[in-house]
Amino acid sequence: MKTVSVTEFRSNIKRYLDIAQEEKLVIHRSKGSSFVIVPLEDDKDDLILNEIIQEHLLGKNHNVTSVFSGDEAQEIIYTKTFDLMLLDVNVPNINGFELLKDLRDSGIKTPAIFLTSAHMLEDVEKGFKSGCDDYIKKPFELRELDLRIENIKRLHNISPSNNILISF
Q: Where are the alpha helices (DSSP H) in the chain?
A: 6-11, 13-23, 44-59, 70-79, 96-105, 121-130, 142-155
Instruction: Tell me the pLDDT band of 9, cut-offs 50, 70 and 90.
Output: low
Q: Which of 83, 72, 120, 118 is nearest to 97 (CA)?
A: 118
The pLDDT, as a whole number, for residue 16 is: 62
Q: What is the rounded average pLDDT of the residues 136-141?
A: 92
113 SS3 class: strand
The pLDDT, as a whole number, for residue 141 is: 93
pLDDT digits (tens, 9 = 90+) for 57-107: 888 888 877 777 788 888 888 888 888 888 888 887 888 999 999 999 999
pLDDT digits (tens, 9 = 90+) for 97-129: 999 999 999 999 989 999 988 889 999 999 999
The CA dihedral of 11, 13, 14, 15, to the nearest 10 degrees, is: 90
132 touches 113 (CB < 8 A): yes
d(CA 48, CA 74): 22
Q: Which of 95, 117, 128, 111 is nearest to 35 (CA)?
A: 111
d(CA 152, CA 158): 8
The pLDDT, as a whole number, for residue 28 is: 44
